[in-house]
Amino acid sequence: MTETLAGRTALVTGSQQGIGLAIALALAREGVAVALHGLATPDEQAAACDTVRAVGGGDVRFFEGDLRDPAAVAALVAAAQAWRPIDILVNNAGIQRIVTLAEATRETWDAILAVNLSAAFDTMRLCLPGMAARGYGRVVNIASVHGLVGSVAKAPYVAAKHGLVGMSKVAALEYAAQSSKQAGGVTVNCICPGWTETAIIEPQVAARAAEHGGDRQAGIASLLAEKQPSLRTSDPAEIGTLTAFLCQPAMHNLTGTAIPIDGGWTAQ
């Protein structure tokens, strides 16, 4: 069994910034060619590619595609696979709206389910058969602590992330015996971050900061004290490190898991 990821190719959705970009960097450092993705301006695309290229990994290319549109998801995967066969798929792109069930609209529900769950369904069904045929494949779905527990005012997001964890378990079972230890196997896992320093938590940080006279650090501390026993946020690079670990050929039997990086949140 090869013990390196050099020469592999990854598609990482939502990778122009935040956790997605950190994952792309972690994989690139392992010698992986990375297909970046996002809704970004040409300058933002170029900056993301330059950032990944600077760590000295494999080739880098940026692909566009609105994940709310199934046809665009299919076109994204087709374009990436035409570039290189996809060995590693990281479904990272996600959106969130803080809204109660009574206030939520069907439009909000549809958008969150489309990006956070349905797009992953499409990328997985399109990429996994090729991985199985080649004998090696890794799917890492960036779920959330909310794929394991609930929170008020997040029904669409929690539903999508619970669905992502469940779908990943099914895919892990369906592909568990599709390859061999020598080839590396095909695995499907979820990472479930708690409070992580990304743009998606900024509205919640701002709301808590407003309760503390505009003090951002006090707002973060308030969020952590409520849910995360470590009282520390995670850095996106930590999610990248775990993703690269899950992709190692030696992890051929680590499949069907939902791994929290949540400072003990879900241990309570």
Residues annotated catalytic, as ranges? 157
Euclidean distance between CA atoms 36 and 111, whole angstroms: 22
- Residue 154 phi/psi, 5-degree rounding, is -140, 30
Q: Yes or no: say if 63 and 36 are a contact pair by the CB < 8 Å rule.
A: yes
Nearest alpha-carbon partner for 168 in 112, 131, 134, 117: 117
Euclidean distance between CA atoms 136 and 91, whole angstroms: 17
Other beta carbons less than 10 A from residue 29's beta carbon: 16
- Residue 121 phi/psi, 5-degree rounding, is -55, -45
Share in percent of the chain as helix, strand, coil (round to 5):
50, 15, 35
- Contact residues for 134 (Cβ-Cβ < 8 A; gap 6+): 85, 87, 183
Euclidean distance between CA atoms 24 and 17, whole angstroms: 10
- Contact residues for 17 (Cβ-Cβ < 8 A; gap 6+): 38, 48, 199
